[in-house]
Amino acid sequence: MTDRFISLLAMGGTISTAAAEDGAVPTRSADELAATLAGQTGIRVLPRDIERISSPAVTPLHMWELACAVREEIDGGAAGIVITHGTDTMEETTYALALLLETPVPVVLTGAMRPPHAPGHDGPGNLAAALATASEPGMAAYGPVVVQQDEVHAARWVTKLFSTRIAAFASPAAGPVALVSEGRVVPLLGPPPAIDRLGSVAPPTRRVELLWVAAGMDSLLVDALPDAVDALVVAGTGGGHVPPALARGLIDVVRGGRPVVLSSRCAAGEVLRSTYGGEGSERHLLSSGLVSAGSLSPLKARLRLLFGLSAGLEVDPIFAPEVV
């Protein structure tokens, strides 16, 4: 045993559930989760309860509060941070932490797909792999990561690809950045080239909505956009395209003074800049004032815009080509 310690912050999710008559709900504390690691490692684990909620209930404010808690733990001397969290929105919380935090030590999110009372519960294995990752100082350079099924995924690329399988997570654009084997971290890729952290940060106060584009969609919804909405992220088709009948409405939103960020609904790849012409093409939309999300997924572009605007940043620097 050394003086080094890892902070275990518990947010809830399937990893912390117990069976109940009307379905599994998060009940286990950080202490109980830490107990599942007993004797597995020489490093001290200090548990701390943050929330005990299912991850669909996690809001940007929870993400902000979690970032503050992580900062406190780092300032308090933690050599690494493990966060247990529901898998449904884990990619969003991980990316929010990448926006909000400097990570001089590893910050690792993990969870479980199968509850503790189900055969093949994956919580203890994921937690042990997360602890191994958080104990490896070199992983700090990757920023916040997700560890599931012995794979380490970077915040910018990770997504929950399957709704039920235990191998639910993937990074379609790049693959995992490392593997965990026999309790050791085996790097595969270097850290992502772009820095996700925002130039300044603040609690979330702005409202950014997400519009998923489908064939035949027109401007019905965007023409009725409530005043409460500060900005919009559009998940366009392919390289960043929308039906002609929707393009007009989106451009009206921009002309009305509200930012519209253009991303792709594809699982990986960039928004094009200069390939297609015509109404609703990427050239038409970008030259009409929409801003490209680059290679960020719609979910992550929304958080980037939401936290960036909340911190008083302008939309163009938030999505500068060198950071997206």
By CB under 6 A, name the binding residues for ligand ASP: 13-14, 54-55, 86-88, 111, 113
11 and 109 Cβ atoms separated by less than 8 Å: no
Residue nearest to ligand ASP (CB): 86
> Residue 72 Cβ, how far from ligand ASP at the closest point, in Å?
24
Query: What is the per-residue DSSP string for 89-116?
Result: THHHHHHHHHHH---SS-EEEE--SS-T
> Residue 116 Cβ, how far from ligand ASP at the closest point, in Å?
12
> Residue 219 Cβ, how far from ligand ASP at the closest point, in Å?
34
Q: Which two tokens stand for residue 319?
A: 């999505």
Other Cβ atoms less than 10 A from the Cβ of 217: the count is: 17
Considering the complex, state which of residue 88 and residue 150 has its C-beta at the smaller distance from ligand ASP.
Answer: 88
* R_g of the chain, CA atoms, integer Å: 20
Burial grade of 279 (CB within 10 A; 0-12, 13-18, 19 or more): middle
Long-range contacts from 226-230, C-beta under 8 angstroms, 24+ separation: 229/258, 230/206, 230/258, 230/259, 230/309
Catalytic (active site) residue 14: yes
> Residue 87 Cβ, how far from ligand ASP at the closest point, in Å?
3
> Residue 306 Cβ, how far from ligand ASP at the closest point, in Å?
20
Considering the complex, state which of residue 113 and residue 213 has its C-beta at the smaller distance from ligand ASP.
Answer: 113
Give the H/E segment covering residue 255. Answer: helix 244-255
Considering the complex, state which of residue 10 and residue 213 has its C-beta at the smaller distance from ligand ASP.
Answer: 10
DSSP 183: T
Considering the complex, state which of residue 52 and residue 197 has its C-beta at the smaller distance from ligand ASP.
Answer: 52
> Residue 315 Cβ, how far from ligand ASP at the closest point, in Å?
30
Considering the complex, state which of residue 55 and residue 133 has its C-beta at the smaller distance from ligand ASP.
Answer: 55
Judged by phi (left if over 0) then psi (alpha if -120 to 50, else beta), residue 247 lies in alpha
Q: Which two tokens stand for residue 50?
A: 């943050």
User: Alpha helices, DSSP H only, in 12-155?
Assistant: 30-35, 60-75, 90-100, 123-134
Considering the complex, state which of residue 13 and residue 298 has its C-beta at the smaller distance from ligand ASP.
Answer: 13
To the nearest 10°, the Cα dihedral for 164, 165, 170, 175?
Answer: -170
Which of 2, 14, 41, 205 is catalytic? The answer is 14
108 and 145 Cβ atoms separated by less than 8 Å: yes
Q: Which residues are catalytic?
A: 14
